[in-house]
Amino acid sequence: MSQLTDDTGVLTTDVLIIGAGPAGLYGAYYAGFRGLSVTVMDVLPQLGGQISAMYPEKPIFDIAGFLSVRGRDLVDGLVAQAEPYSPLYLLDHRAAELAHGADGLPVVTSDQGTTVRAKAVVITGGVGTFTPRPLPAGEEFLGRGLSYFVPDPSVHADQDLVVVGGGDSAFDWAALLAPIARSVTLVHRTARFRAHTASVEKVRALGVEIVTDSEVSRLIGADRVERAEIRHRTTKETRVVPAQAVVAALGFLADLGPLKDWGLGLNARKITVDTHMATNLPRVFAAGDITDYPGKVRLISVGFGEAATAVNNAATVIDPEAALFPGHSTEKEH
């Protein structure tokens, strides 16, 4: 199952999946299982979507057969499941334009200028494009000590860290980094946290200093962040703490991005689909949290089923002679 590039540099594939979160990765496995070549495009630089970007250490409880599975482990398992079918991953590529060629096949062009001609497209974009809420102070240090995600915790070994935020992601990062960092200080603008109580208690038990009713008012440094100024929101008193890194976990703003201009049927910024997981556009399907239909339940486990439904129905569009149900995976050799 190989993807080919024609004389004009256009990549051709059977199925193009837009979105490399759990539903997209499971869709990549299922497309491969059906004998289809598959390409996966995602705007993020790593696989796993929102889970990898914001909740890699968070336990997930709605995966059938598991009492709990860590986000990072779920993504690793999904990648390994698809690996035998050699999906092509186009990471750091935002799906920018959709057109249909003279042959009726969808053609998607990324913001990097890569063009993919597919026999079917499956959109599994989760919440769509999500942009981190910026830290008002010190945005000029982005990439130089200030970050919004922690793709590789090891780079923060033996550093003094400041984590900003009061939600699950902030406490997840603090808990993950506390054992390897020199120090971790968590700063939140109120004394009330959105994070689960157990996460808060875990961070306290790790010896993380939690500073409430305060905000990071200034980042200080030459080429990189060296210190962070913390200001109490009521008294306006300030203190400066050492910080070679600042992780701002302030949530994100979600948007469909270019997808909203593709002519897709939408409802409340979600893509409407039928029972085939087909959209209103020919050969374009969707699955996972980005979809909407009556009775929709947004769970990862539901997204897996929708991805399989979308791929199976796409397979019958690609080859009208193909069976909708390909048989159980236990009946085939891998």
Q: Are residues 23 and 112 in the same domain?
A: yes
Which residue, 218, 250, 282, sits at the end of a domain? 250
Question: At 154, phi and psi to the nearest 5?
Answer: -65, -25
Which residue, 250, 270, 298, sits at the end of a domain? 250
Predicted local confidence at residue 325, as pLDDT? 81
Predicted local confidence at residue 46, as pLDDT? 87
Pair 1, 37: CB distance under 8 Å: yes
Residue ranges of the chain whose pLDDT lies below 70: 1-7, 127-130, 330-334
In percent, the amount of the chain with pLDDT more than 70 equals 94
Q: Are residues 290 and 152 in the same domain?
A: no
Q: Which domain holds residue 117?
A: 4-130+253-331
Tell me which residue of 140, 145, 151 sits closest to 163, measured CA to CA: 145
Q: Are residues 277 and 228 in the same domain?
A: no
Q: Are residues 258 and 243 in the same domain?
A: no
- Neighbour-count burial of 322, counting CB atoms closer than 10 A to its CB (0-12 exposed, 13-18 middle, 19+ buried): middle
Which residue, 250, 275, 307, sits at the end of a domain? 250
pLDDT in tens, 292-316: 999 999 999 999 999 999 999 999 9
Q: Are residues 246 and 257 in the same domain?
A: no
Q: Are residues 258 and 122 in the same domain?
A: yes
- Residue 130 is labelled as binding a ligand: yes
User: What is the spatial distance between Cα 286 and Cα 93, in angstroms, rounded to a whole number?
Assistant: 18
Q: Are residues 143 and 206 in the same domain?
A: yes
Predicted local confidence at residue 70, as pLDDT? 87
Q: Are residues 257 and 237 in the same domain?
A: no
Q: Are residues 236 and 123 in the same domain?
A: no
Q: Are residues 10 and 124 in the same domain?
A: yes
- Residue 272 is labelled as binding a ligand: no
- What's the domain count of the chain? 2
DSSP conformation class of 323: -
Pair 55, 73: CB distance under 8 Å: no
Question: At 121, phi and psi to the nearest 5?
Answer: -120, 135
Residue 309 maps to which CATH number? 3.50.50.60
| 298: CB partners within 8 A, 6+ apart | 289
- How many CA atoms, within 13 angstroms, populate the side-chain half-sphere of residue 268? 6
pTM: 0.78
**Which phi-psi region, left, alpha or beta, contains residue 48 (left: φ > 0; alpha: ψ -120 to 50)?**
left
User: What is the spatial distance between Cα 231 and Cα 236, in angstroms, rounded to a whole number?
Assistant: 6
- Residue 55 is labelled as binding a ligand: yes
- Residue 95 is labelled as binding a ligand: yes
Q: Are residues 164 and 124 in the same domain?
A: no
Find residue 182's DSSP bridge partners. none
User: What is the spatial distance between Cα 201 and Cα 215, in angstroms, rounded to a whole number?
Assistant: 21
Predicted local confidence at residue 114, as pLDDT? 96
Q: Are residues 8 and 123 in the same domain?
A: yes
- Residue 159 is labelled as binding a ligand: no
Please identify which residue in the block is written with the tokens 């010896």: 207
Predicted local confidence at residue 328, as pLDDT? 74
Q: Token pair for residue 16? A: 């193009």
Q: Token pair for residue 215? A: 């905000």
Predicted local confidence at residue 150, as pLDDT? 82
- Residue 223 is labelled as binding a ligand: no
CA 271, 275, 277, 280 torsion: positive or negative?
Answer: negative
- Residue 255 is labelled as binding a ligand: no
